[in-house]
Amino acid sequence: MTDMQYSLPDAQGHFGPYGGVFVAETLMPALAELRAAYEASRADPAFIAEFEHELKHYVGRPSPIYYARRLSEKLGGARILLKREDLDHTGAHKVNNCIGQALLARRMGKPRVIAETGAGQHGVATATVAARYGFECVVYMGSEDIERQAANVYRMKLLGAAVAPVESGSRTLKDALNEAMRDWVTNVSNTFYIIGTVAGPHPYPAMVRDFQTVIGKECLAQMPEAFGRQPDAIIACVGGGSNAMGIFHPYIPHEGVRLIGVEAAGEGIATGRHAAPLTANARAGVLHGNRTYLMQDENGQVIETHSISAGLDYPGVGPEHAWLKDSGRAEYVAVTDDEALEAFHTLCRLEGIIPALESSHAAAYAMKIAPALGKDKLLLVNLSGRGDKDIHTVGERSGIRF
Amino acid sequence: MSRIQSVFQNLQAAGRKALIPFITAGDPDGELTVPLMRALVAGGADIIELGVPFSDPMADGPTIQRASERALAGGMSLGKVLGIVRAFRAGDDATPVVLMGYANPVEAMGQGAFAAAARDAGVDGVLVVDYPPEECTAFTAGLRAAGLDQIFLLAPTSTEQRFRDVARCGGGYIYYVSLKGVTGAANIDFDELGRRIPRVRAAVGIPVGVGFGIRDAASAKRIGAFADAVVIGSRIIEEIEASPRERSAANVETFVRGIRAALDETAGAKP
């Protein structure tokens, strides 16, 4: 453990050259209001107590760390540990952040919440908290993702949310975000926008991270109890990057712990059909309210991305990840659709765990490096969600129709 | 004095209001943009806002999104937009051109390179929707050094303190967003605008134009009663969409002329 100082972002939401508040004027006052409400809430013991109470009794926290013994023994190297965010209520880590933002929305007196979703996990989590706290809820989802994630769409409807299909652009996550922003700018006085990842304008990247750090804080306590020490490396998938920031952030001062973010290489970085702006060293740009690594053409137009996993299919990445890459504190790699699928099947068969395709990327990278590492090494993988939502996608790859 | 300033000064002296039409460069194709710009001027435009298409136009409604998609499908880029302005300038040295778009194409070209290239092409003003003043101090200084006006937005949600902060950085005119929403929406509260605009003008000390959701002569006339300028975008793009290619310039000119006539009926109304 060291005393490495880390207090980013600055007051304007910058992580070095990244982050910030790049939005149209109409939203500037709303973001100022949100910043003020969030700053007051995070300093309020009653708010924190309610957040923690909800995480324990509604989400089912803390989530366990599980030693994947058969997987580790088969690989013959480092021990692989899984932080079981797939066991959270709604089936993924997304709900941690949604609880936090819902409590904030209630405190700010907003009767309506909106969200964007890619894989549908954040949409489901938002619809869930909207039902739990009695908000009207609209979830924006690209029409291509609606097709890929039909079960989650129905889940949101069961929970009382309206799912609004987005037909513009590439009809995926980034376009859903554009449309949610348009809704917010139109209904800003009565609507709280629950962003699902550590992107967007300040204070979202810091706020979403803070709500998700419950993951890493639990690990800090659980690792010494169950395994006698902290892990050698933490591995998490990165689309926008909220599960990764949640588990990385409390470990930033622990310099002996490697932090490894795994992006979606899609069909391979060299093919250009991927969603890995950090790994591919994409140029920095401005999208969705912040400056970050951004997949774009030479004229600054955002390009279409590809991943088998809808939740990683995003051309940007949270600005704090951009900063962690440049600073060298975290490393970023990418695994392909095929590698993620193989990890998906391996976890199913060796551990009885069906992982989300997103989380399968993190597992795939752990499986890649574990054999070359000693048996005394500990790799902690953030298993950010369960894969029931993905069985259609995986089945189709095997020629199975439901 | 900049072209934009002299336009407002002359209009003010005549007791008239500025008409600022918006079209997206490259919509429906790059060859038609200069003829469309000339048609706007012929119809009575005082300043032209030329949209730089972007893949993710978050502040725009469906009409301008479609225009952006058509323009990008035809290969339009910020560099080509500057070429269009240069071609327009070759035949019109008087009408100010304001580029309106999003940050990322500017970031990709480089802020400094953009300011120099825009000046050389004959651009007069620049409005970057997702560059609020606090995120673009260097850009603002670069534009100012190049002699360009940076136009900023103010909105129904802006506080009076914000009016003053934005005015300190801005030049040319203030683009006041008429409603909470995206371009082309249809929920303008004219009474509220009538109360707000005089307060905005008093705080900013430069002309105030109003845009978003102004669709016809009647609404333009109502806005013209209290604003210095009226911006019309989505409705003109609908005109282009509905016209056969060879008729679009003539139809746009006719539409703009109708708005011009309505605005001039308010001539002499107190500023």
pLDDT in tens, B45-83: 999 999 999 999 999 999 999 999 999 999 999 999 999
- In whole angstroms, give the CA distance from residue A150 to residue A386: 16
Alpha helices, DSSP H, located in B15-77: 30-43, 62-73
- In whole angstroms, give the CA distance from residue A164 to residue A52: 31
Closest CA to B68 of A175, A251, A138: A175
Cβ distance B180 to A286 less than 8 Å, yes or no, reads no
The widest CA-to-CA distance across chain A, in whole angstroms, is 57
* Position B271 in a domain: no
Mutation to test the A interface, candidates B76, B104, B192, most A Cβ within 10 Å: B104
Please check whether residue A164 touches B, CB under 8 A. no
* Position B79 in a domain: yes
* Position B24 in a domain: yes
Please check whether residue A183 touches B, CB under 8 A. no
- Looking at CA atoms only, how far is residue B239 from chain A in angstroms? 21
- Looking at CA atoms only, how far is residue A17 from chain B in angstroms? 11
Asked whether the predicted pLDDT for residue B158 surpasses 70, the reply is yes
Asked whether the predicted pLDDT for residue B33 surpasses 90, the reply is yes
* Position B27 in a domain: yes
* Position B86 in a domain: yes
* Position B269 in a domain: no
Q: Greater confidence, A133 or B180?
A: A133
pLDDT at B267: 60
Q: For chains A and B, what is the number of CB pairs under 8 angstroms?
A: 120
Please check whether residue B77 touches A, CB under 8 A. yes
**Two tokens at B230?**
């009226």
pLDDT at B53: 98
Please check whether residue B161 touches A, CB under 8 A. no
Cβ distance A22 to B109 less than 8 Å, yes or no, reads no
B60 is catalytic: yes
The DSSP symbol for A55 reads I
- Please, what is the average pLDDT of chain B? 95
The 3-class secondary structure across A264-285, one letter per residue, is EEECCHHHCCCECCCCCCCCEE
pLDDT at B154: 97
**Two tokens at A159?**
């929970």
Domain with B174, as residue range(s), is 3-264
A157 is catalytic: no
Least confident piece of the model among A103-112, B32-41, B183-192: B183-192
CATH number for position B200? 3.20.20.70
Asked whether the predicted pLDDT for residue B270 surpasses 70, the reply is no
Q: Which residues on chain A are in Cβ contact (under 8 Å) with B103?
A: 22, 286
Beta pairing, strands A112-117 & A136-142: parallel
SS3 B75: coil
CA dihedral (A50, A51, A52, A58) positive or negative: positive
CA dihedral (B257, B258, B260, B265) positive or negative: positive
- In whole angstroms, give the CA distance from residue B218 to residue B63: 21
Q: Write the burial class of residue B3 (CB in 10 Å: 0-12 exposed, 13-18 middle, 19+ buried).
A: middle
- In whole angstroms, give the CA distance from residue B178 to residue B191: 11
Q: Which residues on chain B are in Cβ contact (under 8 Å) with A284?
A: 107
Mean pLDDT by 10 residues, chain A (402 residues): 68 97 95 97 98 98 98 98 98 97 98 94 96 98 87 95 93 91 94 97 98 98 98 98 98 97 98 98 98 98 94 95 98 98 98 98 98 98 95 90 78
Radius of gyration of chain B from Cα atoms?
A: 17
Closest CA to A366 of A379, A349, A352: A379
Is residue A366 within 8 A of residue A80, CB to CB? The reply is: yes
Can you give the pTM of this predicted structure?
Answer: 0.96
Q: Residue A285 is nearest to which of B79, B108, B185, comparing CB atoms?
A: B108
Q: Which helix (H) or strand (E) holds A263?
A: strand A258-266
Is residue B13 within 8 A of residue B230, CB to CB? The reply is: no
Please check whether residue B56 touches A, CB under 8 A. yes
Domain count, chain B: 1
Closest CA to A276 of A286, A285, A266, A284: A266
* Position B169 in a domain: yes
A116 is catalytic: yes
* Position B270 in a domain: no
- In whole angstroms, give the CA distance from residue A241 to residue A399: 31
Mutation to test the A interface, candidates B24, B54, B58, B158, most A Cβ within 10 Å: B58
pLDDT at A5: 60
Asked whether the predicted pLDDT for residue B235 surpasses 80, the reply is yes
